[in-house]
Amino acid sequence: MRNNDEIIDILNKLKEEKGLSLSELARRVNMAKSALSRYFNKTRQFPLNRVEDFADVLGVSSEFILGFDSNSKAIDITTIYNELEPPRQKVVYKFAERQLQEQNEKPKVVQLPIIEDDKEIEILSGHESAAGFAILGDDSNMTSTVMKASKVPNGADEVVEIKGNSMEPLIMNGEQVFIRHQPSVENGEIAIVAIIDDGITCKKVYYDDAEGTVTLESVNDDYEDMVFPVEDIRIIGKVLGK
């Protein structure tokens, strides 16, 4: 089995062969860019429980990355394509074209189905959340707002105003987002997060179970990732839409 440095060297080589940036690789394996950077800089041990995710993205077997199968190598897609009959080549080309189009689409907040009945409903409001450095939450401003039901995503508990530009262009400064109150989210989902002794912010959330940390990632590349011990973070709710 390869040691940690050898595994990272192999991953780096495969990443370069695929023409992937570190940011793109992080996105495809659903890992925070800052965490992946620490692994690739060899300042942290690579998490072996994630090797299959990297193998899938890089087109090799897990055994090859770990050094158990020295004969395994990435399959050249052009070789397979050239062996196909023309009608099958056309199918493959159209599929690859659709995949590339989806890959190049700008990220967006998914709009969940909305309530069709256009009656007015009451929803919690008054909170603000930073999109940048955390700001202090103030429950004294908590109130409720009457809105058209058709404007509110199904399952929303509260509407929150975003202050700052760290989530641009996905969520602009001053925009309101709808959230569902829940204590946890999946890796890569956007949440309103309370940081103990700091404040409230809106970020993408990534958990690192091996390190016992949570990484809060901005959409705007001008902002560095923030990494905290898991006990210093409390999820207030998941962003459903805006």
Separation between Cα atoms, residue 134 and residue 163, nearest integer Å: 10
Q: Please give the share of the chain, as a percent, with pLDDT higher than 70.
A: 80
Q: Which two tokens stand for residue 169?
A: 């262009």
The CATH 2.10.109.10 portion of the chain extends over: 120-241
Q: Give per-residue pLDDT as tens, 116-142.
A: 556 776 777 766 676 655 544 555 566
The band of 150, judged by pLDDT with boundaries at 50, 70 and 90, is: confident
Q: Return the amino acid letter for 35.
A: A
Strands 226-229, 213-217: pairing kind: antiparallel
CA max distance for the chain: 69
Residue 103 dihedral angles phi and psi, to the nearest 5°:
-65, -35
Amino acid in the structure at residue 144: S
CA–CA dist 160, 128 (Å, integer):
6
Cα gap 238→184, rounded to integer Å = 8
Predicted confidence (pLDDT) at residue 88 exceeds the cutoff of 50: yes
Residue span(s) of the chain under CATH 1.10.260.40 come to 4-66
CATH of domain 4-66: 1.10.260.40
Query: For position 42, what pLDDT does the model report?
Result: 92
User: pLDDT class for 180, splitting at 50, 70, 90?
Assistant: very high
54-74 pLDDT tens trace: 999 999 988 889 887 544 444
CATH of 120-241, one of 3.40.50.300, 3.30.1540.10, 2.10.109.10, 3.40.640.10: 2.10.109.10
Mean pLDDT of 144-153: 84
**Is the pLDDT reported for residue 9 higher than 90?**
yes
pTM of the model: 0.57
Burial 48-59 (b: 16+ CB within 10 A, else e): eeebeebbebbe
Residue 239 has pLDDT above 90, yes or no: yes
Q: Is the pLDDT reported for residue 195 higher than 80?
A: yes
**Gap between the Cα atoms of 94 and 230, Å rounded:** 44
Across the chain, mean pLDDT equals 82
State the average pLDDT over residues 85-107.
71
Residue 212 φ/ψ region, left for φ over 0, alpha for ψ in the -120 to 50 degree band, beta for the rest: left
Per-residue model confidence (pLDDT) at position 131: 61
Q: Which of 186, 194, 180 is closest to 235 using CA atoms?
A: 194
DSSP 49: G
